[in-house]
Structures are given as structure tokens and as C-alpha cells.
Amino acid sequence: MTFTPPPSASASTPVFQPIVSGDALAAEAHRFATQLGHLSPEEVANRTGWTLGIIAGALALLWLLRFSIRLVARWLSPKQDQEDERGKEARRQIGGWTMSAARFVVGMFALGWILYVWGFDVRAGALGQVLGVIWRAGIIIILAVAALEISTFVITRGLHRGARHARDVRRAAQLRTLAPVLKAMAQSLIILIATMMTLSQFGVEIAPLIAGAGIIGLAIGFGAQTLVKDFLTGIFMILEDTVSIGDVVTIGNYGGVVEDMSLRTIKLRDFDGTLHIFPFSEAQVIHNKTKSFSYAVFDLSVTYSADIGRALQVMRETGEQLAEDEGFSQAIVAPIEIVGVDRLADSGVILKGRFKTMPGQQWTVQREYLRRIKQAFDENSIFMPTPAPQVRLVSAAELSARQTPTNIVDEHPEAQG
């Protein structure tokens, strides 16, 4: 008695199983062509009428679908954007890919009905199986594309609308930062699910693919630990609101405005327009200069002969005048804070003060205050120290010694010889 092992799973269940054979399709096409040759003129006219009716119905269905998409887009749009040109352009863009996929599927469906009218049984034959697979795959693609466009539209418009109505500036910046991240995650998930479902319609066993993808993902996770670290750091940084788009930050020796953030990188645009791109794993320490509030700090130097009490009083009066100015009152959160004498430097006495301002407004307030305090100091005869030139007397003998050829040779040994 001999034992025959059962066939392996890979041999019994191949990853790809063809839908129909080419010979079956060729045989059905030959029978269909033979049948067309035996039709009478009355039958041809009758079936032509049915064909035109099917085409008209397909066009009407596409028009109804386009109208429904535009209606849904208008319903999802904020009321204040419904008459805005940008809102109209956004509504025209939504549904473009969905309509392209719908035209293909409806066209294939109409083709199947036309073939059936002309005597080709698309329900049981080999071509019917092919068309059935195409229809089901097309419906999956339509739903996936519609989900992509609607999710992109809803996430983008919804979060930007929430940012416009947010009472907190930080909350608005966080919502604008989350918009591209959530959009990318939603698109990746929808594309992955739609791809797997479409491949299964064409006879591809997706279970081995899912298992293989899990193994490959595990290998990538071990081999690309930096990418995983960037991804996780980016998620926590966005959720914790450490930094958002529009903040002014410093990373290492570089600083600038946060122009864009993804789940892996942060992009800074500095004052001269240079774009600095940092992976989150390299941005170990981030100095955020515009979170919640900011300070405009002043270090003013006056001469040792100046009246320090009067100088501090002028600083306070100038700060109060600036805070009452309509052009700067919205940027200043609290009255000026005069710290006093900060230190005694070689050149003069350093006086320190600061303004608490709205995030990102500290530089505007600082520039205007420095302009005003310079005028106020001049009017009150409070002088700022200027660097004094240093004069060193040189004797004629030393000057003559510097100009001798011997010194030139000593200073440049390569000239010798």
C-alpha cells in the first residue's frame, strides 16, 4: 500500500485563475456572426430601434448622474461659498473622475444590452462572463473614485471651514495642518481596498497578496526604521499641536515659516525664500516662536552719563503711546513691561523691556517701538553709546622697519631663494 500526498495549496489554488478561454470567445463570435446573416429586414429595423432606445437611455442616465453629483457638491458646500467663484470651480472639479468611470461602465452595460437585442446571449456565454466581470469591476471603480472625490472635498472644505470659524488661532492652524494629512490617509485606504476588490473580480486570489503584503510591510518596517520613526513622530507632533502650518520656528541653525507638513517631513521657508525640508526624525528640538503668544523684547543701550530713571520713564511712555495706536493695539496683548537695568556693558548701560503680542506680531511691534524710542531718546537728550575709534601711535623707526625687504622675506618664506 502506497501513500500519495495531497497536492499542495499553491498547486490547487493558483493565485490567478483566468475567467474564460480564448477558444470559447472565438466560437461564440463565429456563431453570432452566422446568426446576423440570417436576419430579415423587419428584424433588423426592429432591433435597430431598440438599439437607439438603449443609447438614449444610457445618455439620460449619465446626465442624471452628472446632475446628482453637482447637486451633492452644492449641498456639501458652505453657504457663503455657493456663489463664490472658487466655490463654483471646486464644485465643477468634483465628480470629474467619477463621471469618466461612469461613462465607461454605462457604455459597457449598454453594449451588453445591444448585443443581447441582436441575439447574443451575454448572460450565459463566455463573453457574458467577461462583461459581467467588467461591469462589477467598473462599479467598484466608480464607487472608489466617487469616495475619493467626495472624501477629498469633504475633508478639505470641512476643515478649512472649521478653521475659518475657529475662535482660537492655534485651533485654526491645527485644522489647516490636518487637512492634507487626513486627505492622504483616506485616499490611501480607499485605493487599497478598491484595488484588492477589483483584482478579485479578475480571478486573482487576494488572500496570498494580503499575506505577502504583510510580510513585505514587516520587512520594510525593520529595514526602514527611520521612515517609521518619521511617520510616528509626525502623527504625535500634529495631534499634540506642537507646530502647525504658518508658525515661525527654528530647527537647528535654520528658521522660517512652516509652509507645509506631511506625516514624514516639515518644510520651512526662510526670509530669503530658501525652502528647508527636515524629516521629523532629524527635527529633535523645535523652537516655536508663534505658539499662543509672543514677546517683543528690547535691549536698549544708553551711555553711563544718561539719567537712567528718566530713560526708563521714556521707555514706558513710548510703549503706552504705541499700545494706544489703532494700527498696533490689536497686535499688543498686554502693556509694556519694563524690566529695568539688565547689565552694565563696556559700551553703556543695557535697559530691558518687552511687549506681549499676538503670535507672529512681535517683529512688527518691535520695529515700530525701536523707531519711536530712538526719536524719544533724542528729544530727551538721552544718548546711545557709539563705538569710539582706537588710535595707535606708531614711531618712525617702527614704520620704517615694517617697510624693509627683510620683513617681507620673513613674512613670505616662499620668496626666499
The band of 407, judged by pLDDT with boundaries at 50, 70 and 90, is very low
Choice between 400 and 291, residue whose per-residue pLDDT is larger: 291
* 61 and 162 share one domain: yes
In a domain, 393, yes or no: no
Rounded distance between C-alpha atoms, residue 113 and residue 50, angstroms: 9
Q: Is residue 1 part of a domain?
A: no
Residues 53 and 98 in one domain: yes
First to last CA, the chain: 105
Percent of the chain with pLDDT over 70: 69
Specify if 115 maps to a domain: yes
pLDDT in tens, 219-247: 666 656 677 777 777 777 777 778 888 88
Range of the domain at 57: 16-216
- For the beta carbon of residue 232, count every other beta carbon within 10 angstroms: 13
* Number of domains making up the chain: 3
Most trustworthy range by pLDDT among 38-52, 89-103, 231-245, 247-261: 247-261
Lookup: cell for 155: 475633508
34 plus 65 within the same structural domain:
yes
Are residue 98 and residue 208 in the same domain, yes or no?
Answer: yes
Residue 401 lies in a domain: no
Task: Average the pLDDT over 398-405 and give the result.
Answer: 63
User: Is residue 406 assigned to a domain?
Assistant: no
Q: For residues 133 and 17, is the Cβ–Cβ distance under 8 A? A: no
Give CA–CA dist 29/125, Å, rounded: 10
Q: How many CA atoms lie within 13 A of 234 on its CB side?
A: 22
What is the pLDDT at residue 88? Answer: 53
Question: Same domain for 35 and 80?
Answer: yes
| Distance between CA atoms of residues 378 and 358, nearest Å | 30
- Three cell numbers, residue 350: 543695557
**Looking at beta carbons, which pairs linking 124-129 to residues 24 or more positions away fall under 8 Å?**
125/24, 125/28, 126/20, 126/21, 126/24, 126/25, 126/28, 127/20, 127/25, 127/28, 127/29, 129/19, 129/20
Taking the CA of residue 152 as centre, how many other CA atoms within 13 Å lie in the half-sphere pointing to its CB?
19
Q: How far apart are CA 376 and CA 17, in angstroms?
A: 87
Contact 98, 146 (CB under 8 A): yes
Above 90 in pLDDT, residue 266?
Answer: no
CATH number, position 243 = 2.30.30.60
Task: Say whether both 201 and 230 belong to one domain.
Answer: no
The answer to whether residues 212 and 228 belong to one domain is no
- Tell me: do 189 and 42 sit in the same domain: yes
Mean per-residue pLDDT, 365-381: 93
Q: Residue 356's pLDDT is what?
A: 93
Could you tell me if residue 308 is inside a domain? yes
Q: Do 181 and 120 belong together in one domain?
A: yes
Rounded to whole angstroms, how far apart are CA atoms 142 and 65?
12
